[in-house]
Amino acid sequence: MRKSRAPVELQIPSKLGFEKVAAGCAVSIAKDMKFFPSKIDDLKTAVTEACLNAIEHGNKLNQNVNVVITMTPSEEAMVVEVWDNGGERYDYASEPDIKQKINGENRPRGWGLFLIQNLMDEVEIKYVPKKGNVIRMVMYLKPPPSDFQ
């Protein structure tokens, strides 16, 4: 029988700095789940970036509107959902032009989604009318099974 783990839900104001609260919670859960330290660092970065996007872009720094973060641990993975209440579809930036950024030809910001997609095992972004945008991120405790085994 699998050990059941309860989801953890946080609501943080759309104020820069509160993303650290969500990241700290994710780190605590990941440590309890026995993730490798490098995976914990990846999870921390991804949760931070997702919360920053929700705060800045989805909720437009409106401190009266919360970001809702749900972390659901299981025996196999940690699932994190970050919801904004922006009320409209947020157009996530496409993959950054790395050469332009390195050469200083493009603004240094805009790495968030790129980092999230490269640090997490699964990432899904969707807009739910009248509810907001959600980014759903999954990190497996062990690597997901390969089709080539």
Average pLDDT over residues 82-99: 72
How many domains does the chain divide into?
A: 1
For the stretch 120-136, pLDDT in tens is 999 999 998 888 999 99
pLDDT band at 1 (very low <50, low <70, confident <90, very high): very low
**What is the pLDDT, as a whole number, of residue 98?**
65
Task: Write the DSSP assignment of 61-120 as a string of letters.
Answer: T-TTSEEEEEEEE-SSEEEEEEE---SS---------HHHHHTTSS-S---HHHHHHHHS
Q: How many beta carbons lie within 10 A of that of residue 74, not counting itself?
A: 16
For the stretch 18-73, pLDDT in tens is 999 999 999 999 999 999 999 999 999 999 999 999 999 899 999 999 999 999 99
Q: Let me know if residue 146 belongs to a domain.
A: no
Q: Let me know if residue 145 belongs to a domain.
A: no
Q: Let me know if residue 30 belongs to a domain.
A: yes
Q: Let me know if residue 148 belongs to a domain.
A: no
What pTM did the predictor assign? 0.84
Domain limits for position 128: 8-140
**What is the pLDDT, as a whole number, of residue 9?**
97
- Specify the pairing of strand 8-13 against strand 66-73: antiparallel
Q: Let me know if residue 149 belongs to a domain.
A: no
Mean pLDDT (the chain, rounded): 86
Contact 14, 66 (CB under 8 A): yes
Give the domain CATH number at 39.
3.30.565.10
Q: Let me know if residue 101 belongs to a domain.
A: yes
Share of the chain above pLDDT 90, in %: 66
